[in-house]
Structure 1
Amino acid sequence: MKYIILVGDGMGDFPLESLDGRTPLEAADTPVMDFLAGRGRLFRLQTVPPGFAPGSDVANLSLLGYRPAECYSGRAPLEAASMGVELPPDAIAFRCNLVTLERQDDRQVRMVDYSGGHIDTATAAELIGLLDRELGDDYCRFYPGVSYRHLLVWRRGCAGLQTVPPHDHSDREVGEYWRRYLAVPGLGEVVSRAAQLLAAAPANQRRRENGENPANAIWLWGEGRPPAMATLAEQFGVSGALISAVDLLKGIGVYAGMEIINVPGVTGYLDTNYAGKVAAALEALKRHDLVFVHVEAPDEVSHQGRLDDKLQAISDFDHKVVGPMLEGLQRSGEAFRLVVTMDHFTPLATRTHADLPVPFLLFDSQRDARDPACADGSCWMEPVRGNYSERSAADAELLVDGREFLSLLLGND
């Protein structure tokens, strides 16, 4: 038996008047997910435990069978693991976004773009390299990641600093949070000097000339120290592989003992290499019991408040990931269990994450609800009426944590 988890990050949403009371997931063209929902079973999962902020970190830990309350120590250490950055015992890792800020002074600061205009990876590496050359030392180092997502390792004090994710404050006043950095001795100087260097950087001059948002500041958040986590093999007796464009997800996979597959051309956006992800996943199933495929695009466009792009991202996930994955699994002839889900809601109305239980569908190739053997209702999976959506799963069985979820997928329930 093979096990597959396909994650459309941030697909969940609220009904919208512009869609005649439907959610984007209901309105998007999703024939494959709807087909699977009709032949499988719908559930809900509380991916974000009580007391936790609704981040992709804790939500995806849950989707890999973990209980965040037992292992979570911060987002940035997970990203450090993905990037191969070993944290010294006295170090704190920060997620370091390249962002676009509009600053009149240190009191009037607006978050224009949490992604620095979705800066390309090569240009971002140029800017992060500049910061590390100018500001890096034994106690402060910058490490380049993908697009706007990077890492700062800090080995001085920052006690009491409370950070916030930049994507939670798109197009909003953020002077209060900016001044928190400036108040930390040493770190404040680094953040302030970084903004000066970035504003004058030739790469940002080129971006301005091209009509693109300049990546003119850094934004630090998600800080923490390395977590203690058991692997999937230790917890569940299975081997796994993970495919994502996002360092956070790759870092979770590293701690989970999974093979991290880097697919050329993945971007974490609408232009990502969907076909390459599916091909890599199908190939990985020849080596592993479980494959986890994460698609970031629905979440990214949700943070930007773009309805048309969210509809496209969800449709692309269905047509370019779920459909080809299902076809490849069926061609293989092996028995499989397939989950299609999201990690959390990212409503367009708020442009940030929500901690609602997420709907997921579970399809078992051996227990197809339309199989004649199920005619007497003896199969544990009964067909679901409707489609794969928030509304269809509103009354579905609720699973309370990741361990319960993965046990269900693996048939250990």
Structure 2
Amino acid sequence: MKYIIMLGDGMADEPLNELGGMTPLEYAKTETIDALAKKSEIGMAHTIPEGMSPGSDTANLAVLGYDPKIYYTGRSPLEALSIGVDMKETDVALRCNLVTLSEEEGIPYEERTIIDHSSDEISTEDAAVLLDAVREVMEDEIYKFYVGTSYRHLLIWDGGHVVELEPPHDHLGQIIGGFLPEDEVLRSMMEKSYDILENHPVNIERRKKGLKPANSCWFWGAGTRPALTSFEDKTKLKGAMISAVDLLKGIAVGAGMKNIVVEGANGGLHTNYEGKAAAAADALLKEGNDFVYIHLEAPDEMGHQGSVERKVQAIENMDSRLIKPLVAQLDASGEDYRLLVMPDHPTPICIRTHSSNPVPFMIYDSRKDLNKSWKYNEKEAAQSGNIVIEEGYKLIDRLLSE
């Protein structure tokens, strides 16, 4: 038996007037998922424990079977694992986004507005050049910068302490003054980064191309070194992760899972869907893995952008360009498999950030035909009369149970 989790990050949403009162998941043309749903069980799961922030960090830990209340020590330390940073006990890791702030002349830094948390999904190559410029001015023995992927980078604070910091994607379109760090050094570093980056040649060139400049660092997600139980020890399954996002790669490192790198996978709408499908099939059928976790970032990014059309497209791409070819290869192999399709959390278009609402799940077993009439979406999963998983980290037990 093989097991797959297909995680559409932020895929769940709220009904939208633009879609006739449907959610993007309801509205999207998902022929493969709809066909599988009729043979599957569907239901709802709470992936965000009460009192915890609705982030991809806590939610993906839960989906993988790790109780966030036990294992979560912050988002950035997980990303540090992915980058290969060996954190000391005294280190605190912080996410360093390269963001786009408004560029009005003559106003203080704190009066600027946050325009884009991803600087138009800046390439890693451009971001590395900009981070080098920041490092040259601000790095010392206490604060060290590390290049991650796209807009997502890392600051390690030696001897630091975990401080409350605001995620930039929670405050798009807002003036930043009320969301800056209380820590004077971190706040000063963010302000200085704007002076360094505003007129950097990379940003001058980006403006000429009609792209948003990556003109400021933004620190958030502070935490200490994590310690996850081995996934194989916990489940007796050999597992692999397929993701373009450092957070998920870091979770895989911490859990002792194999990270599979797919060329052209970038965390955006135009990622390599087919490459992820092929890599998952190879991992299961040729490389001896029992379990594959496929993470797709695109629906979440489109939710943060507030783009209804692009979020629908991301879901349709997942269905036709990832799930369809993967299922075809698995069916052709004759291997029995169980497939869990779900989001980690909602990223509703109306708020452009995450919510803690429960999410729909679908579990398909290639050996069974449950002969249902439902489709997979938020509304029908909630109305199915099926179970509601209150502790989301226990849902994987339902997938793995025979």
Q: 2:152 corresponds to which residue?
A: 149
2:78/2:247 contact within 8 Å kept = yes
- For the pair 1:202 / 2:201, whether they are aligned, the reply is yes
1:314-393 to structure 2, matched below 5 A, reads 314-367=315-368, 369=369, 382-393=370-381
CA distance in 2, matches of 1:188, 1:157: 14
1:71/1:227 contact within 8 Å kept = yes
Secondary structure class of the residue paired with 2:363: strand
- For the pair 1:4 / 2:10, whether they are aligned, the reply is no
2:91/2:160 contact within 8 Å kept = no
Instruction: Write the letter of the residue equivalent to 2:373.
Output: R
Q: 1:38 corresponds to which residue?
A: 38
Secondary structure class of the residue paired with 1:32: helix
Query: Cα distance, 1:400 vs. partner?
Result: 2.3
Matched pairs, number:
395
Secondary structure class of the residue paired with 1:409: helix
Query: Cα distance, 1:36 vs. partner?
Result: 0.8
Query: Cα distance, 1:402 vs. partner?
Result: 4.0
CA distance in 2, matches of 1:192, 1:18: 39
CA distance in 2, matches of 1:105, 1:328: 57
1:206-263: CA deviation from partner (whole Å, max 9, x where unpaired): 1122221110001111110012210111211111000001000111111111000111
Instruction: Write the letter of the residue equivalent to 1:346.
Output: T
Q: 2:222 corresponds to which residue?
A: 223
Query: Cα distance, 1:295 vs. partner?
Result: 0.5
1:162-177 to structure 2, matched below 5 A, reads 162-177=164-179
CA distance in 1, matches of 2:199, 2:89: 35
Change (3 A) 1:158 1:201: farther
CA distance in 2, matches of 1:311, 1:188: 37
CA distance in 2, matches of 1:255, 1:402: 20
Q: 1:311 corresponds to which residue?
A: 312
1:163-201: CA deviation from partner (whole Å, max 9, x where unpaired): 1111111111221112x2xx5243333222222111131
1:170/1:304 contact within 8 Å kept = no
Query: Unaligned regions of 5+ residues in structure 1, if any?
Result: 370-381
Change (3 A) 1:55 1:403: closer
1:143/1:152 contact within 8 Å kept = yes
1:44/1:399 contact within 8 Å kept = yes
Query: Unaligned regions of 5+ residues in structure 2, if any?
Result: none
Q: TM-score, normalised by structure 1?
A: 0.93
Q: 2:101 corresponds to which residue?
A: 101
Instruction: Write the letter of the residue equivalent to 2:132.
Output: G
CA distance in 1, matches of 2:324, 2:255: 27
1:49-78: CA deviation from partner (whole Å, max 9, x where unpaired): 111111000110011011100110100000
Secondary structure class of the residue paired with 1:39: coil
1:70-85 to structure 2, matched below 5 A, reads 70-85=70-85
Query: Cα distance, 1:399 vs. partner?
Result: 1.3
CA distance in 1, matches of 2:186, 2:381: 46
CA distance in 2, matches of 1:71, 1:177: 27
CA distance in 2, matches of 1:106, 1:15: 37
- For the pair 1:291 / 2:296, whether they are aligned, the reply is no
Instruction: Write the letter of the residue equivalent to 1:398.
Output: V
Instruction: Write the letter of the residue equivalent to 1:222.
Output: G
Instruction: Write the letter of the residue equivalent to 2:190.
Output: V
Instruction: Write the letter of the residue equivalent to 2:109.
Output: D
Change (3 A) 1:19 1:186: closer
Secondary structure class of the residue paired with 1:284: helix
1:98-146: CA deviation from partner (whole Å, max 9, x where unpaired): 0011262134121111111211111001111222222212211111111
CA distance in 2, matches of 1:328, 1:226: 39
Sequence identity, in percent? 44
Query: Cα distance, 1:157 vs. partner?
Result: 4.0
Instruction: Write the letter of the residue equivalent to 1:213.
Output: K
CA distance in 2, matches of 1:409, 1:271: 30
Query: Cα distance, 1:297 vs. partner?
Result: 0.5
Q: 1:401 corresponds to which residue?
A: 391
CA distance in 2, matches of 1:54, 1:403: 14
Q: TM-score, normalised by structure 2?
A: 0.95
